[in-house]
């Protein structure tokens, strides 16, 4: 991908304080551990509350992302206006359960306060050629969300096996109502990669040119440094344009990056 190589070479141009501030405001501050508890999630939310008090010159993170059973705790503990509550739903991260269970879990998450839903593409169905089943699941999940609750579809690009499959999965998700397409759960060996991001952003651009609907993009999994995030920012900027450079259409699934960005902005 010569064009991607050229884009990545431009990333250093975007290594600025203004871009880092923007990236901080695009973070989905995420806790998806098997050790999560009511106490740990309350402490997690309190960190966002502290940032709002201690760093008033910074934007707040876009969302806090948790398991559905913690949506109500986040809602009750969060003091910062404008921070969304994203819940992974539909048997995250495997997507391997009955559709009825996925629908029920999603409905309960929204009832408890989730303002956004992240679901995993049923990768097994996709790889076995059941594209109709994949689309049906996404449509059903979007129907539960309705127009007010954005649905992010996680492609789990590291498991798809080829560029062609990443492209196909992106189009199936968008055609089925996805409001965002997201790279990864962060639970597989391969998380977000610039290669997958580039393909997905190309698909988002093509879809917009064809359908006139702007779909968001969210890299997640393995975003460990500010330069990792800046590379994804640069891909979005170069492929999709400045219209996508807002925290409604560009998100970063990470938790460790927040403290790194604060430290670098303060230096």
Rounded distance, CA 114 to CA 222, Å? 24
Contacts of 34 (CB under 8 A, 6+ apart): none
Rounded distance, CA 73 to CA 113, Å? 9
- Which of 102, 125, 152, 218 is labelled catalytic? 218
Rounded distance, CA 20 to CA 117, Å? 26
Could you confirm whether 210 is annotated as catalytic?
no
Distances in whole angstroms, Cα of residue 138 to Cα of each of 121, 135, 146, 163, 170: 8, 5, 12, 21, 12
| 185, 220 Cβ separation under 8 angstroms | yes
At which residue do the structure tokens 């290669």 appear?
A: 195
Could you confirm whether 189 is annotated as catalytic?
no
- Which of 52, 102, 112, 118 is labelled catalytic? 118
Nearest alpha-carbon partner for 72 in 45, 104, 48, 51: 45
Could you confirm whether 20 is annotated as catalytic?
no
Element spanning 232, H or E: helix 226-239
Rounded distance, CA 158 to CA 121, Å? 12
- Which of 102, 125, 182, 237 is labelled catalytic? 182
Would you please indicate which residues are annotated as catalytic (active-site) residues?
Answer: 118, 182, 218
């Amino acid at each position: 991908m010569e064009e991607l190589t050229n884009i990545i070479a431009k990333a250093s141009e975007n290594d600025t304080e203004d871009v880092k501030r923007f990236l901080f405001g695009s973070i989905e501050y995420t806790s998806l551990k098997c050790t999560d508890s009511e106490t740990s999630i309350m402490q997690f939310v309190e960190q966002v509350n502290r940032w709002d008090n201690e760093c008033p010159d910074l934007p707040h993170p876009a969302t806090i992302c948790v398991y559905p059973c913690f949506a109500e705790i986040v809602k009750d503990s969060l003091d910062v206006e404008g921070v969304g509550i994203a819940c992974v739903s539909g048997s995250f991260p495997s997507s391997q359960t009955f559709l009825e269970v996925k629908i029920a879990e999603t409905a309960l998450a929204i009832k408890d306060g989730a303002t956004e839903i992240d679901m995993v593409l049923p990768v097994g169905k996709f790889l076995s050629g059941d594209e109709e089943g994949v689309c049906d699941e996404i449509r059903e999940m979007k129907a539960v969300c309705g127009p007010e609750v954005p649905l992010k579809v996680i492609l789990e690009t590291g498991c798809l096996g080829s560029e062609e499959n990443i492209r196909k999965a992106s189009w199936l998700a968008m055609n089925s109502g996805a409001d965002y397409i997201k790279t990864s759960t962060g639970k597989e060996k391969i998380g977000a990669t610039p290669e997958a991001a580039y393909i997905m952003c190309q698909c988002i651009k093509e879809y917009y040119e064809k359908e006139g609907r702007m779909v968001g993009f969210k890299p997640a999994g393995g975003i460990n440094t500010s330069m990792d995030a800046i590379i994804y920012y640069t891909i979005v900027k170069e492929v999709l344009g400045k219209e996508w450079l807002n925290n409604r259409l560009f998100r970063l699934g990470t938790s460790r990056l927040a403290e790194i960005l604060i430290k670098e902005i303060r230096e």
